[in-house]
Amino acid sequence: MKKGLLFLILLFSLIPVYAQQDAWIYLTDKQNVATSVANPINILTQKALDRKSAHGVSIDERDVPVNESYITQLKNAAGITVMAKSKWFNAVHVRGSQTDIEALTNLGFVASIDFADKSLNTAKPISQKQVSKLESTLTTFNYGDAFNQIDMINGHELHLLDYTGTGMTVAVLDAGFPNVNTMAAFQRLRNANNIIDGYDFVNRNANVYANTSSSHGTWVLSTMAGYIQDQFVGTAPDASYYLFITEDGINENPVEESYWVEAVERADSLGVDVVNSSLGYGSFYDNTNYNYSASHFDGSTTFITKGANIAFEKGLLIINSAGNEGNNGINAPADSSNVLSVGAVTATGTYASFSSVGSAIQPTQKPDVVAQGQASYVIGTNDVIGTLNGTSFSSPILAGGIVCLWQALPDKTNAEIMQLVRESASQYNNPDYFLGYGIPNLLAALNGELSIGDDDENPEEILMFPNPSSGDVFFKLPSEETFWTFSIYDILGREVKTIPILDVIEPIDISYLSDGLYIIKIESPKISKTFKLIKK
């Protein structure tokens, strides 16, 4: 009798324990990330900073603490006990009933839930928030007049995958940015505080808008960051920008090379990722004695080119217009093998007669690639959309697209991104001095990097994103196929799971996987494609 009573007591004492579940709550964002990373002493000790510096370890968003207001709201949620937190994972460990934990998906800052009991994850329903997130991700811009120039490089496809430049920083080196601080076309950029700062190196003035000697920088910036609802969208509308004036709009003097190098040095110190420079020097100085000869454009002689080469070593990606000198050739710093030089084509993809032609003097293929530079759509200082000609515009059009590509592939180096762009171009296997490697296909560059094999003839039509992922992955699949299977294999080739994809709008939850590298195979009766997936 006592033995039976003891069994019942033990049984009932276990019920509350198993009724409680543990789970990791992954959060959507952190507070003041840019400010914290820019001022790391506020989040790390000096000793930690010294150690990171000694070992070349970068300071990033993972070092920023978890948002305390989010933790407070989780603590106040019904039935929830907060057990621990992790800034590295931007996650909070909670304990509560399965029902109470799943109810946390109603909080707007909860990105995903990973139960310690993995069987609960497989049955996790798709929340309305997840569906809304996917619908938002798949919403494209109406590019209006600017469509052809982004469609040519397949940059709009990166936008469709939610790679619009967010988190990337661009320095625009140019001649002047009048009215950028007041134009309606940059209101979206200003509202997001994505014009970080600027400096006029020519006049040594922090007020970058005071120099009205040229509107060139405003036009250039518009191709990347301009936005007029249903009329115009730049190629990297959500990137952050520094505006630097290095070109003297009145005089042509070698000091402009020095301004350029000085600005790139500052860009490096500020953590800039990409520099767009629609500038070229060496052949047309006011004092002709200062001009370089053709043999000097060899990728290593001019002052500006030597500065560009150091910038490349520092990790910056320099994208520069090839020039508008036609058969007179490439100027500096576009002659550098460490600079991605961009020539110009027409709206139909044919060579634009003014675009500078490369030669055997340059150590590598020049130009590298091309984009639309004839009749490019830009936004003027009065918010009026119009067309202009020049590699000054093919360069930033492509630069913005590359910014989005690098956002999608954040672990790639500047050299690797440059090579991916070249390899994606239309005549990579047969380059020439007019178009270089041709017109890049940025979607193919992304898809080719994520893919490790396919059996279909149009691999760019199949995409899995985001990658890396900590929670859900989504798909872009050809509409003619209706039944797909999704198979996960570990790095040793062992099958982890295979499930049908019954609805392409429905995401696949991978939050239950351990962090690491996996092989994903997506198949239909006619098509098969394999990806590398990083679970983090």
60/279: higher pLDDT: 279
Helix/strand/coil (H/E/C) assignment for every residue in 412-425: CCHHHHHHHHHHCC
Instruction: Verify that 214 and 350 share a domain, yes or no.
Output: yes
CB-neighbour burial class of residue 450 (10 A; exposed 0-12, middle 13-18, buried 19+):
buried
- Which pLDDT score is estimated for 210? 94
List C-alpha distances in Å: 468 to 291, 344, 401, 465: 49, 34, 20, 8
Which are the contacts of 432, defined by CB distance < 8 A and separation ≥ 6?
none
pLDDT band at 120 (very low <50, low <70, confident <90, very high): confident
- Give the Cα separation of 89 and 66 in Å (integer): 9
With CA atoms as reference, report the closest residue to 169 among 187, 196, 189, 198.
196
Name residue 146's beta-bridge partners.
Answer: none
Q: Are residues 256 and 325 in the same domain?
A: yes
Before 363, cis peptide (omega within 30)? no
The answer to whether residue 335 sits within a structural domain is: yes
> Can you say how many angstroms the Cα of residue 76 is from the centroid of all Cα atoms in its chain?
36
Range with top average pLDDT, 341-355, 445-459, 516-530: 341-355
d(CA 39, CA 465) in angstroms, rounded, equals 32
Farthest-apart Cα atoms in the chain, separation: 110
**Same domain, yes or no: 272 and 413:** yes
Report yes or no on 1 lying in a domain.
Answer: no
Quick one: pLDDT at residue 505? Answer: 57
Position 458 scores a pLDDT of 52
Q: Compute the distance between CA of residue 55 and CA of residue 76 in angstroms, rounded to an integer.
A: 41
Choose the final residue of a domain: 423, 447, 471: 447
Residues 121 and 152 in one domain: no
Q: Which CATH number fits the domain that encloses residue 180?
A: 3.40.50.200
279-283, 299-303, 465-469: lowest mean pLDDT where? 465-469
- pLDDT at residue 343 above 80? yes
Distances (CA, A) of 336 to 242, 290, 304, 358: 23, 20, 10, 12
- CATH number assigned to the domain comprising residue 521: 2.60.40.1930
Assess whether 168 and 124 both reside in one domain. no
Measured CA to CA, the distance from residue 166 to residue 155 in angstroms comes to 14
Q: Of 447, 474, 497, which residue sits at a domain end?
A: 447
* Number of separate domains in the chain: 3
Verify that 437 and 459 share a domain, yes or no. no
Cβ neighbours of residue 65 closer than 8 Å, sequence gap 6 or more: 30, 43, 87
The pLDDT of 31-40, averaged and rounded, is: 88
Looking at 392, 413, 447, which one is the last position of a domain? 447
**pLDDT (0 to 100) of residue 455:** 47
| Per-residue model confidence (pLDDT) at position 50 | 76
Is position 32 within any domain?
Answer: yes
Residues 69 and 107 in one domain: yes
Distance (Å, rounded) from C-alpha 146 to C-alpha 230?
Answer: 10
CB atoms within 10 A of CB 321: 31
How far is the C-alpha of 20 from the C-alpha of 199, rounded, in Å? Answer: 57
Q: Return the pLDDT at 157.
A: 87
Q: Which amino acid is at 135?
A: E
| Percentage of the residues of the chain whose pLDDT score is greater than 70 | 88
Q: Is the pLDDT of residue 144 over 80?
A: yes
| DSSP summary character for residue 348 | T
Task: Provide the mean pLDDT of the chain.
Answer: 86
How far is the C-alpha of 81 from the C-alpha of 86, rounded, in Å? 15
Residue type, 401: G
C-alpha dihedral over 362, 363, 369, 370, to 10 degrees?
A: 0
Residue 29 reports pLDDT greater than 60? yes
- 253: Cβ contacts below 8 Å, ≥ 6 apart: 285, 286, 287, 290
The least confident of 25-29, 186-190, 393-397, 434-438 is: 25-29
Strands of 304-429, DSSP E: 317-321, 339-345, 369-372, 376-379, 385-388
pLDDT for position 412: 92
Residue 391 pLDDT class (50, 70, 90 cuts): very high
138 within some domain: no
Over residues 203-214, the mean pLDDT reads 94
Domain that holds residue 401: 147-447
Regarding whether 465 and 439 lie in a shared domain, the answer is no
pLDDT at 319 over 80: yes
Q: What angle do CA 404, 408, 409 make, to 5 degrees?
A: 115
Which residues, 6+ apart, have CB-to-CB distance to 308 below 8 Å?
264, 318, 320, 333, 336, 338, 339
**For residue 275, is it within any domain?**
yes
> Does any domain span residue 140?
no
* Under 8 Å between Cβ of 220 and 396: yes
pLDDT, mean of residues 197-212: 95
Higher pLDDT, 450 or 312: 312
What's the whole-number mean pLDDT along residues 31-48? 86
Q: Same domain for 379 and 407?
A: yes
Token representation of residue 225 = 């960051």
Residue 111 falls inside a structural domain: yes
Mean pLDDT value across residues 303-312: 94
Same domain, yes or no: 29 and 118 = yes
Q: Which of 66, 112, 67, 70 is nearest to 86 (CA)?
A: 66
Q: For residue 465, what pLDDT is reported?
A: 76
| Mean pLDDT confidence for 262-291 | 93
Calpha distance 26→453 (Å, rounded): 32
- pLDDT on residue 6: 32
pLDDT digits (tens, 9 = 90+) for 475-533: 777 766 667 888 898 877 788 888 877 655 567 888 888 887 788 888 887 788 888 78
* Selected residue with higher pLDDT from 112 and 403: 403
> Which pLDDT band holds residue 57 (cuts at 50, 70, 90)?
low
Q: How confident is the model at residue 124 (pLDDT cuts 50, 70, 90)?
A: very low
**Where are the strands (E) in 346-417, listed by range?**
369-372, 376-379, 385-388
Beta bridge partners of 85: 92
CATH code at position 105 = 3.30.70.250
Instruction: For 392-414, write each residue's pLDDT tens digit.
Output: 999 999 999 999 999 999 989 99
**Same domain flag for 349 and 418:** yes
For residues 113 and 343, which has the higher predicted lDDT (pLDDT)? 343
56: left (phi over 0), alpha (psi -120 to 50) or beta: left
In three-state secondary structure terms, 110 is: strand
pLDDT of residue 2: 35
Work out the pLDDT band at 60, boundaries 50, 70, 90: confident
User: Is residue 14 scored above 90 in pLDDT?
Assistant: no
283 and 423 in a single domain? The answer is yes
Alpha carbons 254 and 198: distance in angstroms, whole number: 22
How far is CA 504 from each of CA 34, 147, 430, 439, 452, rounded to the nearest angstrom? 35, 26, 38, 31, 22
Q: Residue 249 domain-assigned?
A: yes
Q: What is the pTM of this model?
A: 0.68
Q: What angle do CA 434, 439, 441 make, to 5 degrees?
A: 165
Alpha helix segments (H runs only) across 138-273 = 147-151, 155-160, 187-191, 216-225, 255-269
Q: What angle (nearest 5°) sits at the alpha carbon of residue 374, between those of residues 231 and 416?
A: 90
First to last CA, the chain: 53
Query: What is each CA distance from 354 to 3, 219, 522, in whole angstroms?
Result: 96, 19, 46
Instruction: Give, for 220, the enclosing helix (H) or strand (E).
Output: helix 216-225
